[in-house]
Amino acid sequence: MYVIDNGKRFVIPRTELTYPAHSLKFHRNAADSVRSPVDLVMADFEDACPYEFKGDKSRKVALEALNTLDFGNKVVTVRPNNLRSPFFREDVESVVLGAPNRFHGFILPKVREPDEVREVAQLLDALEPRGKWRYKLQLEVLIETPQALINAYGIARASDRMAGLIFGIADFAANLGIRDIFENQNQNFHYAKQATVVAAKAAGLHAIDNVFVKLWRTDDPPEKVAQIQRQLREKNLGAASLGMDGTWVIHPQQAEIANACFTPTAEHVEFARRLLTLYHAQGGGSMTDPQTGEMADEATVKIALMDLAKGVQAGMVAAQELAQWSEKSRAVTGYDIIELMRRGS
């Protein structure tokens, strides 16, 4: 979870839009609230950036964008080249010193071990005072190698800057020698995806699913567009069922469907409110829901609180309401959803 505005706002991204950092056009599209209705944007110096633009060319464009564009309420992040790349350090230094207080964090690729996260955190500790930053930059880490998956919990706990883990399917599949990453991916990569989720949630972080690479064109026949949209929805609903909080997107056309897959419905929110009201009316403990006849207990209440937290992100629930329900539940159970989700950290 990203903690924004000195703890006044928190964001569990449903959609993270990645785009090439060397193109000012893509920065402008990402900043546009109508064209790109996503929760987080990521200027990419790594895979999306052609080699000829790596280094000063892409950094110059990214700095212009970060310092001049209004990204609204979006979380703004940068993906540098990986730690073993000759471009990594200057990627980080250029934006930290050149765009202070204009973005929120870094998304780190190709991380394998917790020490690599600590290395980046130490670098930021040194750079932020030089840039006169008013807040700490946060980190998300891509889990895209078998080694990273084995070390995922240690990576998640490596720094208090950590906000989330992201499952990177393409590099992970390449490391395993798997060619097909499109069909049945939630089944074929079930273990890896849910292991990423478990590591993230055990550390109080959010978990983000991999990209869906199929896009539709404006001149595609309607049946092809409908098929791709159905596949996008199925992939993301399946990921949500595994515990993912959101997904990467590679084009704004994917945002509406993806957002919906990771947003509770109005019915879910109202059910959560009703359940919490019943639960606290009897002082906690297990009970039978008089409307459905189903059993409810502390675990059910946790799910209800999570739905309300996601409802805050979607603008369906007031943050104050979540805080009130969270405090009531903490008083009964000792379980504090805001603390667990690092809202005040």
For position 112, which CATH number holds?
A: 3.20.20.60
Residue 104 is assigned to a structural domain of this protein: yes
Task: Looking at the structure, tell me whether residues 231 and 96 fall in a common domain.
Answer: yes
Residue 215 is assigned to a structural domain of this protein: yes
Residue 85 is assigned to a structural domain of this protein: yes
* Domain limit, last residue, from 261, 295, 320: 261
What whole-number distance in Å separates Cα of residue 166 and Cα of residue 182?
18
Predicted confidence at residue 343, as pLDDT, reads: 36
* Domain limit, last residue, from 209, 227, 261: 261
Task: Looking at the structure, tell me whether residues 62 and 126 fall in a common domain.
Answer: yes
Residue 345 is assigned to a structural domain of this protein: no
Other CB atoms within 10 A of residue 72 CB: 10
Predicted confidence at residue 341, as pLDDT, reads: 56
- φ, ψ of residue 143 to 5 degrees: the values are -100, 100
Task: Looking at the structure, tell me whether residues 240 and 291 fall in a common domain.
Answer: no
What is the domain extent for residue 104? 2-261
Q: Nearest to residue 105, comparing CAs of 40, 48, 20?
A: 40
3-state secondary structure of 172: helix
Task: Looking at the structure, tell me whether residues 215 and 314 fall in a common domain.
Answer: no
What's the total number of domains in the chain? 2
Task: Looking at the structure, tell me whether residues 173 and 145 fall in a common domain.
Answer: yes
Pairing of strands 287-288, 246-249: unpaired
Q: Nearest to residue 192, comparing CAs of 241, 242, 119?
A: 242
What whole-number distance in Å separates Cα of residue 103 and Cα of residue 96?
9
Predicted confidence at residue 339, as pLDDT, reads: 60
Task: Looking at the structure, tell me whether residues 164 and 102 fall in a common domain.
Answer: yes
Total count of residues recorded for the chain = 345
Residue 190 is assigned to a structural domain of this protein: yes
Residue 103 is assigned to a structural domain of this protein: yes
Contact 291, 274 (CB under 8 A): yes
- How would you write the pLDDT of the chain (345 residues) with one tens digit per residue? 888 887 777 788 999 999 999 999 999 999 999 999 999 999 999 988 889 999 999 999 999 999 999 999 999 999 999 999 999 999 999 999 999 999 999 999 999 999 999 999 999 999 999 999 999 999 999 999 999 999 999 999 999 999 999 999 989 999 888 888 878 889 889 999 999 999 998 888 999 999 999 999 999 999 999 999 999 999 999 999 999 999 999 999 999 999 999 998 899 899 989 988 888 887 777 777 788 877 777 777 777 887 887 888 778 888 888 888 888 877 877 766 656 555 333
Task: Looking at the structure, tell me whether residues 216 and 325 fall in a common domain.
Answer: no
Task: Looking at the structure, tell me whether residues 218 and 272 fall in a common domain.
Answer: no
Residue 130 is assigned to a structural domain of this protein: yes
Q: 284-296 burial string, b = 16+ CB within 10 Å, else e?
A: beebeeeeeeeeb
What whole-number distance in Å separates Cα of residue 238 and Cα of residue 241?
5
* Domain limit, last residue, from 237, 261, 285: 261
Residue 79 is assigned to a structural domain of this protein: yes
Task: Looking at the structure, tell me whether residues 253 and 285 fall in a common domain.
Answer: no
One-letter amino acid identity for 173? A
Task: Looking at the structure, tell me whether residues 191 and 323 fall in a common domain.
Answer: no
Task: Looking at the structure, tell me whether residues 255 and 284 fall in a common domain.
Answer: no
Predicted confidence at residue 344, as pLDDT, reads: 35
Task: Looking at the structure, tell me whether residues 49 and 132 fall in a common domain.
Answer: yes
